[in-house]
Amino acid sequence: MEAALERLEVVKAALERIVLEPAYHDVLAVVKSARNGAVYGAKVRFPHALVMVFLFRSGTLREKLGLVLRATRTHARNLAQFATLYKLTCYVLKHFGPTPGKEGPYDHFVGGLVGGYFVFGGRSRRSGKIPSVNQQIVVYVFARVVLALARLAVKPGVGLPAVSEPEPSARISRLAWPVFASLSWAMVMHLFHYHPDDLQPSLRGSMSYIYQQSNEWDSLRNFIWHNK
């Protein structure tokens, strides 16, 4: 028993030397990013899918659990694959690009481009449709990009001319958010009313529950305690 424990300690020490070796850092960062992508994807998707499926999907308990697990697996797998492709692309560009050993100004952009195309840009082989999990992730990222670009657009010296007074930027920022929020809701309500099939399914389901099914009841029971 003691001999086995000693061998385990030797193996552990050898592995620790490898993972702490600076020469291997960039390669091991690819592995670690894949691990973190998978873990984060599972943590984020599981509770979200659990709530959405049990609230808005019909079917048996087994079917619902299957949907939850498939959505969790897809989210975790895709984030792990994207992280791997992104990190690998950045690694290749850093070590084999125009200036070996140094990051270029567009390495991260190209890495995101490659990962986004191969992981999130494809369609399901079975149905030929864009997987709903991928749609949700890409739309989430797109919304954050738009908000970040909007902030950059009013930042002095970036979007606005550099000025000594921050007042123009602050005034635009105060006005921009309510305009953005109101237009976003105006557009989504218009689309939901006239073109619901073009909205993302989970959004359409939640909006149907709130705005359409609230028009239907035939007793006190399904007015307050139950829907429909």
What is the C-alpha separation between 98 and 107, in angstroms, rounded? Answer: 11
What is the C-alpha separation between 68 and 50, in angstroms, rounded? Answer: 6
Q: Where are the domains of the chain?
A: 1-131
The pTM is what? Answer: 0.76
In what helix (H) or strand (E) does residue 64 lie, and over which residues does it extend?
A: helix 61-96
Question: What residues contact 189, with CB distance under 8 A and at least 6 apart?
Answer: 211
What is the C-alpha separation between 211 and 195, in angstroms, rounded? Answer: 15
Nearest to 133 by CA among 123, 125, 143: 123
Q: How many residues does the chain have?
A: 228
CB 63, CB 6: distance < 8 Å: no
CA angle in degrees (0–180, nearest 5) for 38-41-44: 150
pLDDT computed for residue 165 by the predictor: 55
pLDDT computed for residue 106 by the predictor: 92
CB 61, CB 39: distance < 8 Å: no
pLDDT computed for residue 123 by the predictor: 85
Mean pLDDT, consecutive 10-residue stretches, the chain (228 aa), reads 81 87 87 92 92 87 93 94 95 88 90 95 84 88 88 70 58 77 91 91 84 81 75
